Amino acid sequence: MESYRIGVVGCAGRMGRMIARIVQQTEGCVLAGGSDRPDCGALGSDLGVLAGLGALGLPVSDDTVTLFARSDAVIDFTTPAATAIHADLAAQAHAVFVVGTTGLDSAQEKRITLAAKHTAVVRAANMSLGVNLLLGLVEQVARALDPDYDIEVLEMHHRHKADAPSGTALALGAAAAAGRGVDLERAAVRSRDGITGPRNPGDIGFATLRGGDVAGDHSVIFAGPGERIVLEHRATSREVFAKGAIKAALWARDRKPGLYSMRDVLGI
C-alpha cells in the first residue's frame, strides 16, 4: 500500500511542527507538505528542519490549494477563520479533514458540516485519548449524582491560547449537561466578578486560567454536601494531540463522507 500523504496547515506553529514530526515518524505515513500564512516568517523554510527532522525538501508555502490537492488527508489546528476556508478546500479536493481548531462561530461550523457532505471530516475539541475517556466519565457521573452536586469546569492553558473557555472545557461542560439532561447554553456560567450573589442551583460553571507553557489541564468538579468528586486530565506535551490527530486521519482513510468525532475513531 502506498504511503498515506498527510498535509499540515499552520505548519510553522508549535502544534503544526509537532504534527509534522509525528507524521513523518508514523509507519505508513509521509508528509505531503505544509502551508502557513504569508506573514508567518517561515515561508520557504524546509518543513523537515522546522519540525526537527532534518531537511526533507518540503518548503513551507502559502499555497494551501495545492497542499490539499496533493494530500490524502490534512490536519488543521489553526484559527476559526482559516479552518472555515480549509473546510471548503477539503471538500473540493475530497481530502480527509482532521480539525482540532476550537472557537468556531455558527457560520464557520456550518462550513465544516457542508464539507462533511463531500469528504470524511473528523472534528474534536481535543484529540487525546485521555480527554475523550474523560468526556464519557463526566457524562456518567453527572447522570448518577443528585442535582444538589454543583458542577464546575476548570481549565488552564499556555499564555498564547486565544479562546476561552477552551473548546475542551466547553465539551466537558456539554458532557455534564447531557448527563443532567439540561441545555448547556442555559446552565453555563462563564464568568463571575463582583457581588454575584449565591450560586444558582443547576449552574455549570467555567473558570479559565492562562500562563506559562501549559499544554492543557482540565478538571471537572462535582461539589456536593460533605464531599467533592474531581475528574481531571493533564496534558504534559502537545504530542498527545498530534498522535490523536494522526490516528484520526488514518482511521478516516477510505471512510464515506461524513462528520465524525474522536469517539468514533476510538470506538467509545
pLDDT of residue 238: 86
Q: What is the CA radius of gyration of the chain?
A: 19
What pTM does this model have?
A: 0.81
Domains of the chain: which residue ranges?
A: 4-123+238-266, 129-235
* pLDDT above 70 (res 85): yes
pLDDT exceeding 90 applies to what percent of the chain? Answer: 86
SS3 label, residue 259: strand
The confidence band for 1, taking pLDDT boundaries of 50, 70 and 90, is low
In the CATH hierarchy, which fold is given to the domain comprising 129-235? Dihydrodipicolinate Reductase; domain 2 (3.30.360)
Pairing type for strands 150-157 and 204-210 reads parallel
pLDDT at 22: 95
Residue 118 in this model has a pLDDT that exceeds 80:
yes
* Res 267: pLDDT: 86
Q: How many CB atoms lie within 10 A of CB 227?
A: 8
CATH 3.40.718.10 fits 4-123+238-266, yes or no: no
Looking at beta carbons, which pairs linking 161-164 to residues 24 or more positions away fall under 8 Å? 161/210, 162/79, 162/103, 163/102, 163/103, 164/208, 164/210
What confidence score (pLDDT) does residue 215 get?
Answer: 87
Q: What is the DSSP letter of 255?
A: P
DSSP 165: S
Neighbouring-strand partners of residue 97: 74, 121
Q: Buried (b) or exposed (e) across 125-158, using 16+ Cβ within 10 A?
A: bbbbbebbebbeebbebbeebeeebbbbbbbbbe
| Residues belonging to the active site | 157, 161
Whether the predicted pLDDT of 103 surpasses 90: no
pLDDT for 120-167, tens place per residue?
Answer: 999 998 898 899 999 999 999 999 999 999 999 999 999 999 889 998
The candidate with the shortest Cα–Cα distance to 232, out of 161, 131, 150, 86, is 131
Confidence band, pLDDT 50/70/90 cuts, at residue 102: confident
Stretch 25-39: mean pLDDT:
94
Sign, CA torsion 154/157/163/167:
negative
Confidence grade of residue 268 (pLDDT, cut at 50, 70, 90): confident
Q: State mean pLDDT over 51-58.
A: 92
Percent of the chain past pLDDT 70, that is, above it, reads 100
pLDDT digits (tens, 9 = 90+) for 174-196: 999 999 999 999 999 998 999 99
Residue 2: pLDDT band with limits 50, 70, 90:
confident
Q: Which of 29-33, 208-212, 262-266 has the lowest mean pLDDT?
A: 262-266
> 109: exposed, middle or buried (C-beta count within 10 Å: 0-12, 13-18, 19+)?
middle
